Amino acid sequence: MAKVLIPLAEGFEEIEAVCLIDVLRRAKIEVVIAGVGAINIAGAHDIQIQTECLLSEIHSKDLDMILLPGGWGGTKAMADDPDVMRLLEEMDADKKLIGAICAAPFVLNKAGVLKYNYTCYPSVEEQIREEGYTQEHSVVTDDNIMTSRGPGTAICFGLAIVEKLKDTQTAEALKEGLLAEYC
């Protein structure tokens, strides 16, 4: 069973984090929710989620993917966290999957793991790079890096990850069950 780490740092975007965790768990993918600096983490809209462990306890060798929710507060906290940086570098060196949505591709860029083609929340590309950025697709995959745009694309991003880690049939069945025919 694939194992995916989703770190939550204070100020994370709640719709993005929860859509990703929920959709992946519906697909029977193991998701570890880890707190950056604390166990109880408040999102950008003050929804408190109790994580399952501290990010500092996580080893990249146990993971198949690391997946970052957006929200500027959470994104900046992750970009400043040495454990997030180390995990991203190790996962990329091992050619493992890395995902980020909304503002969080900024963190991948800072860690030097973002590939050429990517997407992110509109205007965040100004703090990453214009080249290679597209807003034409909800999800962009380049090599081992998957990126997506924002709250409204989070379910679709989850389904694209399910397709990658499991198969198209599982993703299609989930899409129908979620009533997300727009993905």
| Active-site annotation, residues | 102
Q: Which of residues 54 and 180 has its CB atom nearest to its own copies in the complex?
A: 180
Looking at the Cβ atoms of 65 and 91, the one nearer to its own copies is 65
Task: CB nearer to its own copies: give 18 or 165.
Answer: 18
Q: Which residues of 38-53 are buried (b: 16+ CB within 10 A; e: fewer)?
A: eeebbbbeeeebebee
Helical residues (DSSP H) of 48-122, grouped into ranges: 72-79, 82-93, 105-110
Smallest distance, its own copies to C-beta of residue 101, A: 10
Q: How far is the CB of 40 from its own copies (least distance, A)?
A: 6
Please give the DSSP secondary-structure letter assigned to residue 61.
Answer: G
In the complex with its own copies, the residue whose CB is nearer, 112 or 122, is: 122
Pairing of strands 145-148, 139-142: antiparallel
Which DSSP state fits 60? G
One-letter amino acid of 165: L
Whole-angstrom distance, CA of residue 124 vs CA of residue 82: 22
CB of 150 vs its own copies, minimal distance in Å:
4
Q: Which residues lie near its own copies (CB under 8 A)?
A: 13-15, 18-19, 21-23, 25-26, 33, 40, 43, 45-50, 121-122, 149-153, 155, 178-183
Smallest gap, in angstroms, from Cβ of residue 173 to its own copies? 14
Residue 125, classed as helix, strand or coil, is helix
Tokens matching residue 131? 């080249």
